[in-house]
Each structure stands twice: as structure tokens, then as C-alpha cells.
Structure 1
């Protein structure tokens, strides 16, 4: 099992604000997509995600862990959250390529934004596309 972080890039130029703050859970779970593709003859799972981090103390997220369990991959994007509900966010785009001998069996990606101190997380489930 091997993963390669292709990029971690902040994609907003001004602070991002959610218009509906009543229905937001914190930390905001990542939005992710996943697809298996042929990468020079190697079947590879491409995971793309956007993560939302407090713009007042923005720091790039880190791909903390990526593990495979039967037909599911779990990926954790780690950061240090200040525990206050942010008013504005920086939006980060993260792209990962993952390979394993059983990559073709993966049908689901669970992606989590994980606060490293104290450890808390929010996640989303994404089906792997064709």
C-alpha cells in the first residue's frame, strides 16, 4: 500500500464564508471525490478533497493517515483547530494517488478532517466512481 500526495493548495484568495451557519457541524467535514484510473499501467485510486480551515489561523492540512480495510479506504486530513467556531475559512484542495494490490476492490472512501489537539474529527463517505 502506497500513497502519494500530489498537491495541497489553498484555493481561495479571500476568506470564505458559509451563508447558512445554522446547519454546519464543526469541524466542517471534507468534500471528496474518488475514482480508480490507469496510471501508466498501474491501477490507482485518485482522491480529491476540499477541506475548510479557520482563516484566522490558517495552516495547510496534512495527510495524516491513509488505511485500507477490505473495500474501504480511510483518509485523515490533520490540522490544529483552535476549538472556536470560525466565521471565515480558507479552502484547501488536496489530491492523493493511492495504490495497492487490492485497489480495484475499493468501493468507498471515508475522509475525515481531524483536529490533532484534542483529537476530534468529522467525516464524509464517498463512493468510488468509474
Structure 2
């Protein structure tokens, strides 16, 4: 498995984040994503920004698997080491990267998953790409 380079992969909270009622939250928590096309040196590029909520006991940065294009979707998998227990608190991770390919114009959606290396997977989040 290869991992994709990110522009930023940072824990953004100083204190662990606690959901008000963590019994109603599905774990792993689905990623929050924004995606927008822009041009870099006349090359169409997709800017993707993601917020991930990961058990605060996990201290290593999540890893982005190399994105794959499936029809009009760009699929993203963020790997981390998930424990089977519902976490008491989470760290909030901000991940940002640029994506480009010969077929980038075909992408209309970004579908993202938080994936345990075990491999438990969050429900997918589908985000419409903005032009």
C-alpha cells in the first residue's frame, strides 16, 4: 500500500474533543471534507481539505492512501489504528492535499472513509466538488 503526500497533516486541538453524547455517534466518525478545483501553472488541480475525529489515545498522524478514481468519484481512505471501544474523547486532525491526474475533469465527487488498519471503515462521506 502506498501513501499519498499531504500538504498538511496536523492535530488541531490542544485539549481532547468530547462529543456531548458519544453514544449517538457512529465510530469511526466519517470524515468532514471540502473539495474545490483550481489551477496551478495551468494544470487543473483539486484542493481537498479534511477534518478527522480520531480517538485521543491514538497519537500517530492518520495516513492518506493513494486516492483512486472510480467513475466520477475520487475515493479517499485515511488509515489509522482504531481501538474497538467507543472513545471518551477525540483529537481533531486537519489533512490537506492537492490532487491532479489526466482524467481529473471527470471527478464530480469526493468519497472519503476513515479506515482502521484492522480494517474497520467509517461510513463514507460524499462531497460534491466545487468549481
Q: One fold, TM greater than 0.5?
A: yes
Structure 1 equivalent of residue 38 of structure 2: 37
Q: Distance in 2 between matches of 1:101 and 1:56?
A: 40
TM-score normalised according to structure 1 size: 0.92
Give unpaired runs (5+ residues) of structure 1: none
Structure 2 equivalent of residue 113 of structure 1: 114
List structure 1 runs of 4+ shifted beyond 3 angstroms: none
Structure 2 equivalent of residue 104 of structure 1: 105
Shift, 1:69, TM fit: 1.3
Task: Find the residue that maps to 2:6 and give its secondary structure.
Answer: strand
Shift, 1:22, TM fit: 3.5
Task: Find the residue that maps to 1:110 and give its secondary structure.
Answer: strand
Q: Could you say if the C-alpha distance between residues 4 and 60 of structure 1 is closer, same or farther in structure 2, counting changes exceeding 3 Å?
A: closer
Over the aligned positions, Cα root-mean-square deviation in angstroms equals 1.2
Give unpaired runs (5+ residues) of structure 2: none
TM-score normalised according to structure 2 size: 0.91
Say if 1:36 and 1:104, in contact at 8 Å, map to a contact too.
no
Shift, 1:18, TM fit: 0.9
